[in-house]
């Protein structure tokens, strides 16, 4: 136990977790809706790649700037809450407009319309997510309490991935909508409104202290050049911490590899198991996501939280990723045409990969922030949160582009039945199983010597408390 035990009320953990639901639901539904761009609106592979890549690169550039701003904001509401509130509102508005696409418009018009509104959406996401994540880092200074906070948040957030796959059923059911194109226009409204409300909850209910009397760097136009320099040096200082470099690299590899093929889930299930017949596929695409998310919610997160307390965070990470490798292997052998129920066996194992990643890694990052404070004398949750999520978002951007490359590389054509392109479908399936496996193995190799333990973290916390008392 740390000398400064900081137990967080359960209600505060839930308020933080409700924000995580919005943070997860927006991209979860977007990943489903994106299929419509190819399947119904005729976007070629290169457009798919650009749509994925460019806005997320923009997002990754603005994140560190937002981290610096949130770390140095003087306000009676504190450093974070106002940005979380405004960002959540912008996300919701942009999300609705982004999906108002019509088949009768030209391909070029739909492409640029979606592109521009996605930029606005990701600007809102930056305003929301960077200070939001930083709020989580600064909620507690206790080694295990940090894991508990992230576990509650991830548990609530995972319900987004349980709910989101159900949209597959609704979108392609003619009793609901005449086409998937019409579905996304209407469903985007029903997604955006509740998600925006959820995004506002942390801003409204998580406690914060006034920072008006804090000695922060001034945020003004005259100081912007100096601010950008400070951002650069903050990045340099952060990456000097070897353990933080390991966390970022491992997250990048796992998340990038997973999301590269995550966008292919629909195509692999429909074309590998059902010969390209979306009607015959029925609920099986939805069940894949639902069961995986339920496994994460009720098996992975509680198990990982327990393993972290018993074995430590590093061993919990390595064990979780080892289990996920078993899941990827099972997905290769259990994707059997005509027997879709077989893949369900693999899902509890498969879910340990991404399901454990952020629970453990976000808790580890909070420990790293203490190391940084010991070295520099500064608390920079915003900067570290921005850097960590910058790795995630760059990975996501690359993943989106790679998914388009993979579709083109294997020669997959959604207009053809499987029997007419068997090798292409098999190629998609191979990438789906083995690409994330390779990323996971490399990540485990990087994290094998991660050396921040509960004992060392508590020693750092004790020294920080001692310094604070001497002032």
Lowest pLDDT segment from 43-47, 133-137, 428-432: 43-47
Query: Is 384 part of a structural domain of the chain?
Result: yes
8 Å CB contact between 45 and 401: no
Q: Which residues, in sequence order, are CB contacts of 403 under 8 Å at separation 6+? A: 48, 49, 52, 259, 260, 261, 262, 263, 264
**Region of residue 40 (phi > 0: left; psi between -120 and 50: alpha; otherwise: beta):** alpha
CA 323/CA 342 separation, integer angstroms: 18
- Percent of the chain's residues with pLDDT above 90: 19
pLDDT band, residue 218 (cuts 50/70/90): low
Q: Which residues, in sequence order, are CB contacts of 220 under 8 Å at separation 6+? A: none
pLDDT of 210 over the 70 cut: yes
8 Å CB contact between 124 and 90: yes
Number of domains observed in the structure of the chain: 1
**What mean pLDDT, rounded, does the chain reach?**
82
Lowest pLDDT segment from 143-157, 274-288, 349-363, 381-395: 381-395
State pLDDT tens for residues 162-206: 888 788 778 777 778 877 788 888 898 999 999 999 999 998 888
pLDDT of 436 over the 80 cut: yes
Mean pLDDT of 313-337: 92
Range of the domain at 419: 11-204+230-465
Residue 143: what pLDDT? Answer: 66
pLDDT of 3 over the 50 cut: no
pLDDT band, residue 44 (cuts 50/70/90): confident
Query: Is 387 part of a structural domain of the chain?
Result: yes
Residue 326: what pLDDT? Answer: 94
pLDDT band, residue 4 (cuts 50/70/90): very low
Rounded to 10 deg, the angle between the 422-447 and 242-262 helix axes is 170
CA 122/CA 232 separation, integer angstroms: 22
Mean pLDDT of 30-45: 76
Query: Is 222 part of a structural domain of the chain?
Result: no
Query: Is 415 part of a structural domain of the chain?
Result: yes
8 Å CB contact between 125 and 155: no
- Distance of alpha carbon 393 from its chain centroid, rounded? 8
CA 327/CA 317 separation, integer angstroms: 15
pLDDT of 329 over the 90 cut: yes
Mean pLDDT of 54-68: 76
CA 144/CA 98 separation, integer angstroms: 40
pLDDT of 208 over the 90 cut: no
Query: Is 393 part of a structural domain of the chain?
Result: yes
Top-confidence residue, 36 or 321? 321
Beta bridge partners of 401: none
- Percent of the chain's residues with pLDDT above 70: 92
DSSP for 10-58, please give it: HHHHHHHHHHHHHHHHHHHHHHHHHHHHHHTT---HHHHHHHHHHHHHH
pLDDT of 222 over the 60 cut: no
Top-confidence residue, 403 or 126? 126
State pLDDT tens for residues 68-117: 788 778 878 878 889 999 999 999 999 999 999 888 888 888 889 989 99
pLDDT of 217 over the 70 cut: no
Query: Is 48 part of a structural domain of the chain?
Result: yes
Query: Is 219 part of a structural domain of the chain?
Result: no
DSSP for 150-183, please give it: HHHHHHHHHHHHHHTTHHHHHHT-TTT-S-HHHH
pLDDT of 422 over the 50 cut: yes
**Region of residue 428 (phi > 0: left; psi between -120 and 50: alpha; otherwise: beta):** alpha
Helix count (H) and strand count (E) of the chain? Answer: 19, 0
CATH of the domain at 316: 1.20.1250.20
Query: Is 365 part of a structural domain of the chain?
Result: yes
């Amino acid at each position: 136990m740390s000398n400064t035990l900081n137990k967080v009320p359960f209600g505060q953990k839930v308020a933080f977790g409700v924000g995580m639901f919005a943070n997860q639901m927006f991209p979860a539904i977007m990943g489903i809706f994106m299929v419509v761009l190819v399947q119904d609106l005729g976007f070629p592979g290169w457009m798919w790649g650009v749509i994925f890549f460019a806005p997320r690169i923009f997002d990754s550039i603005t994140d560190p700037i937002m981290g610096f701003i949130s770390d140095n904001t003087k306000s009676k509401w504190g450093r974070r809450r106002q940005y979380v509130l405004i960002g959540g509102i912008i996300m919701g508005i942009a999300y609705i407009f982004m999906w108002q696409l019509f088949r009768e418009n030209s391909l070029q018009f739909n492409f640029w319309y979606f592109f521009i509104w996605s930029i606005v959406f990701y600007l809102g996401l930056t305003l929301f997510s960077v200070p939001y994540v930083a709020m989580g880092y600064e909620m507690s200074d206790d080694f295990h309490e940090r894991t508990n906070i992230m576990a509650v948040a991830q548990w609530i957030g995972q319900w987004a991935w349980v709910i989101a796959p159900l949209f597959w059923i609704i979108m392609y059911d003619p009793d609901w909508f005449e086409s998937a194109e019409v579905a996304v226009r209407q469903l985007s409204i029903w997604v955006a409104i509740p998600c925006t409300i959820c995004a506002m909850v942390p801003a409204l209910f998580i406690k914060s202290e006034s920072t008006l009397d804090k000695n922060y760097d001034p945020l003004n136009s005259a100081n912007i050049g100096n601010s950008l320099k400070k951002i650069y040096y903050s990045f340099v200082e952060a990456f000097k911490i070897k353990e933080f470099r390991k966390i970022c690299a491992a997250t990048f590899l796992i998340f990038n590899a997973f999301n590269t093929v995550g966008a292919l889930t629909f195509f692999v299930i429909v074309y590998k198991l059902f010969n390209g017949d979306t009607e015959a596929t029925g609920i099986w695409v939805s069940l894949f996501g639902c069961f995986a998310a339920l496994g994460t919610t009720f098996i992975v997160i509680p198990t990982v939280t327990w393993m972290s307390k018993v074995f430590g965070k590093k061993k919990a990470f390595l064990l979780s990723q080892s289990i996920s490798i078993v899941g990827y292997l099972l997905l290769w052998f259990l994707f059997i045409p005509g027997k879709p129920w077989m893949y369900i066996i693999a899902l509890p194992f498969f879910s340990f990969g991404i399901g454990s990643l952020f629970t453990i890694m976000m808790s580890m990052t909070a420990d790293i922030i203490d190391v940084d404070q010991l070295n520099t004398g500064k608390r920079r949750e915003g900067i570290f949160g921005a850097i960590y999520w910058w790795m995630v978002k760059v990975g996501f951007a690359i993943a989106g582009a790679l998914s388009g490359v993979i579709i083109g590389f294997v020669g997959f054509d959604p207009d053809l039945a499987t029997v007419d392109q068997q090798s292409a479908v098999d190629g998609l399936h191979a990438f789906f199983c083995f690409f994330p496996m390779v990323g996971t193995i490399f990540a485990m190799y990087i994290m094998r010597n991660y050396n921040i333990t509960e004992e060392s973290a508590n020693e750092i916390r004790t020294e920080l408390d001692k310094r604070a008392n001497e002032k």
